[in-house]
Structure 1
Amino acid sequence: MNKQSNIESDMLPFTMRELVSMVMQRKTLALEDALYYIYSSDLYSSLLDEGKKMWYLSTLSLYETLEKEKTEKRKQQENDPKRLLFEVFCIENYREIKNISAKETLQLFSEYDVFGFLNETFETLHTQSTTYILDSISTYIRNKGQKR
């Protein structure tokens, strides 16, 4: 690892600490909820991208970027209730078939970006059987896990 990469990886926890604190305060969220709020965002992925140098931004700028992203996602979901229904359908059926809690399912879906997968494949996937949909999700998670 080069010197710059070490500096960036060393700075990320400090940047995240400040951002988590601001999210907890402004959104009145518990620590776990604030962490999920941030770690499930595109902003977090951008923070990990060394080329973007997002961790140089102020905490307020990062927070505003995060809020803009979340607002846009909410608007998209509100404008397409079919996709929201499909995501809830997938969560509930996956939870039931795997015999895990909704919280565990959400964590798994977030960790492996299943929501992104569902959004990308919505047009085809939502017309399939429940078994096919759940098999597709399981295969997607398994393949993502192998890449790590």
Structure 2
Amino acid sequence: MNMSREGDFLIYCIEQYKDAKSMTGRQAAELFTHYQIWDYVYSCFEALHTTGPNYIVEDIDRYIESRQH
């Protein structure tokens, strides 16, 4: 079974984020679910997949921050 480009990218993003934040896979998955980051990254795939890992982590942090208010 081949995963979509978007699916591959979601995995890439969570891996980058968990490594940058020293989280376990479970912690990162729970965070992504709680803040609906899966949907956000999927909806922004076209723009985000052309950026680097540091930008992706910072963008996710900004997204989480915006949802905390």
- Work out whether the TM-score is over 0.5: yes
Give the 5 Å matches for 1:1-148. Answer: 81-146=4-69
Gaps of 5+ in 1: 1-77
**CA–CA distance in structure 2, aligned partners of residues 114 and 135 of structure 1:** 13
CA RMSD of aligned residues (A): 1.5
Letter in 2 for 1:98: K
**CA–CA distance in structure 2, aligned partners of residues 117 and 79 of structure 1:** 22
Gaps of 5+ in 2: none
Number of residue-to-residue matches in the alignment: 69
| Percent of aligned pairs with the same amino acid | 29
* Between structures 1 and 2, the one with greater helix share: 1
Larger RCO: Structure 1 or Structure 2 (Cα < 8 Å, ≥ 6 residues apart)? 2
Highest CA radius of gyration, 1 or 2?
1
Letter in 1 for 2:36: D
Normalising by structure 1, report the TM-score.
0.44
Normalising by structure 2, report the TM-score.
0.91
